């Protein structure tokens, strides 16, 4: 193995957030995964909520949902392992129909994706004839296929405004829709889906944080309730939050989002103090080094999209990526 990318030499990257003893337990899987990637001509795409041993240890491409979708289009490997949740793997498959796309645990779902079905969209289209449907990428391929265009938390406003209409159905995240509605003149009709991680943050949490950690800068993900975003100093997708920390270098910061995010960003910013109230996403946490290794060893679990809906779902994603 090339010494430069051995598991032992990778430890320096994560020493701030993973104790040495814990890393020793990861080393065998990291070495095996690096070797399997070479053998299978595979790449690992990892979302910002993956644990640091995955994010900094074995991933080739990292980012928010938008970046992962964009970069999935440029992948040249034969195999893509999606270290994230099922809708992300489906999006990668839609954009790479010829490649093998694997997810290490098929049960890695999402409360937002589970909150809406294509039948719900059909009913909404009847209730709001002619109103275009924008769906968050946190949805199944079948729901994407029933929509006009997708969006992520990183481009939602641009997508909504690109349609040039006064009214849009923005589904399924109620809070994302309400947060975007504050920034645009387009009327947004929302659904009642919520992210089970971000809906737990409250404006009281922020008040308490400001009292206990004077001067703390509060960044909130737009899946948080609107009153939380209002009480924060800044709001943006996971990539936008990470860029904010790099650009503004706050002395003290709290990221109101999934727990691994602070660990992954802290690796790059030893001068920033990260305050850590956070919530775990049980779906993201289903992905481990162990099941990434098994995915590559046993070629599982392969993600496929029903050909009857793949074309329409791909069009909705590609339309978003053109903006």
DSSP 51: -
Which DSSP letter does residue 303 get?
P
Paired tokens of 167: 């009214």
Binders of ligand SF4 in range 132-151 (CB under 6 A): 138
Per-residue contact string for residues 12-51; x = within reach of ligand SF4 by CB under 6 A: ----------------------------------------
8-state DSSP, 198: G
Does the footprint of ligand 13P cover residue 153 (CB under 6 A)?
A: yes
Q: Which residues of 209-223 are buried (b: 16+ CB within 10 A; e: fewer)?
A: bbeebeebbbbbbbb
Contacted by 283, from ligand SF4, ligand 13P, none: CB < 5 to 8 Å by type: ligand SF4
In angstroms, the Cα distances linking 306 to 62, 90, 187, 311, 312 are 27, 10, 33, 9, 11
Q: Which residues 261-290 are close enough to bind ligand SF4 by CB under 6 A?
A: 281, 283-284
Instruction: Restricting to residues 66-85, name those near ligand SF4 by CB under 6 A.
Output: 85
Q: What's the CA gap between 116 and 93, in Å, rounded?
A: 21
The answer to whether residue 64 forms part of the interface with ligand 13P (CB under 6 A) is yes
Q: Among the candidate windows 195-203, 210-218, 248-256, 260-268, which touches ligand SF4 by CB under 6 A? A: 195-203
- Residue 260 engages ligand 13P in binding (rule: CB under 6 A): no
- Residue 223 near residue 198 (C-beta atoms within 8 A): yes
241 near ligand SF4 (CB under 6 A): no
61: helix, strand or coil: strand
111 binds ligand SF4 (CB under 6 A): yes
Pairwise CA distance, residues 7 & 186, whole Å: 50
Which is nearer to ligand SF4, 111 or 147 (by Cβ)?
A: 111
Choose among ligand 13P, ligand SF4, none what residue 111 binds, the Cβ cut-off being 5 to 8 Å by kind: ligand SF4
Using rule CB under 6 A, residue 152 touches ligand 13P:
yes
Among residue numbers 34 through 53, which ones bind ligand 13P (CB under 6 A)?
A: 48
On whether the CB atoms of residues 160 and 186 are closer than 8 A, the answer is: yes
Of 80, 197, 206, 320, which lies in the binding site for ligand SF4, with binding defined by CB under 6 A? 197
Considering the complex, what minimum distance in angstroms separates the CB of residue 197 from ligand SF4?
Answer: 4
Q: Which of 60, 120, 161, 196 binds ligand SF4 (CB under 6 A)?
A: 196
- 3-class SS shares of the chain: helix, strand, coil, % to 5: 45, 15, 35
Kindly state the smallest distance separating residue 13's Cβ from ligand SF4, in Å. Answer: 24
Say how far apart CA 90 and CA 99 lie, in whole Å. 12
**Is there binding between residue 114 and ligand SF4 (CB under 6 A)?**
no
Binding partner selected for residue 237 from ligand SF4, ligand 13P, none, CB under the kind-specific 5 to 8 Å limit? ligand 13P
Find residue 219's DSSP bridge partners.
234, 255
Q: Does 179 bind ligand 13P (CB under 6 A)?
A: no
Near ligand 13P by CB under 6 A, which window of 7-15, 63-71, 160-168, 312-320? Answer: 63-71
Beta bridge partners of 101: 80
Distance CA 147, CA 317 (A): 10
Taking Cα atoms as reference points, which of 134, 152, 130 lies closest to residue 143?
A: 134
- Cα separation, 257 vs 198, in Å, equals 6
Is 115 a residue that touches ligand 13P (CB under 6 A)? no
- Under 8 Å between Cβ of 193 and 174: yes
- Applying CB under 6 A, the residues found at the interface with ligand SF4 are 85, 110-112, 138, 195-197, 223, 258, 281, 283-284
- Applying CB under 6 A, the residues found at the interface with ligand 13P are 48, 64-66, 138, 152-154, 195, 223, 237-238
């Amino acid at each position: 193995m090339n010494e430069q990318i051995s598991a032992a030499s990778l430890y320096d990257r994560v020493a701030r957030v993973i104790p040495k003893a814990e890393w020793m337990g990861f080393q065998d899987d990291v070495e095996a995964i690096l070797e399997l990637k070479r053998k299978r001509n595979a790449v690992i795409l990892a979302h910002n909520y993956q644990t640091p041993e995955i994010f900094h240890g074995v991933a080739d491409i990292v980012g928010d949902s938008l970046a992962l979708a964009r970069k999935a289009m440029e992948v040249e490997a034969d195999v893509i392992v999606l270290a994230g949740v099922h809708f992300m793997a489906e999006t990668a498959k839609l954009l790479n129909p010829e490649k093998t796309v694997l997810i290490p645990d098929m049960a890695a779902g999402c409360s937002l994706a589970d909150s809406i079905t294509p039948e719900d969209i059909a009913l909404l289209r009847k209730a709001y004839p002619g109103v275009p449907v924008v769906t968050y990428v946190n949805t199944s391929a079948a729901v994407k296929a029933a929509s006009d265009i997708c969006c992520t938390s990183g481009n939602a406003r641009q997508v909504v405004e690109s349609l040039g209409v006064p009214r849009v159905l923005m589904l399924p995240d109620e809070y994302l829709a309400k947060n975007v509605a504050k920034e645009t003149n387009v009327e947004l009709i929302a659904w009642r889906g919520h992210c089970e991680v971000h809906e737990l943050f409250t404006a009281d949490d922020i008040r308490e944080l400001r009292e206990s950690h004077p001067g703390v800068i509060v960044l909130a993900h737009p899946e948080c309730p609107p009153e939380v975003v209002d009480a924060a100093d800044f709001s943006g997708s996971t990539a936008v939050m990470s860029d904010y920390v790099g650009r503004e270098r706050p002395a003290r910061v709290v990221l109101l989002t999934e727990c691994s995010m602070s660990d992954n960003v802290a690796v790059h910013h030893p001068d920033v103090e990260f305050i850590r109230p956070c919530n775990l996403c049980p779906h993201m946490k289903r992905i481990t080094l162990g099941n990434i290794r098994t995915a590559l060893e046993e070629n599982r679990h392969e993600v496929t999209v029903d050909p009857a809906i793949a074309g329409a779902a791909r069009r909705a994603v590609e339309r978003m990526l053109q903006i």
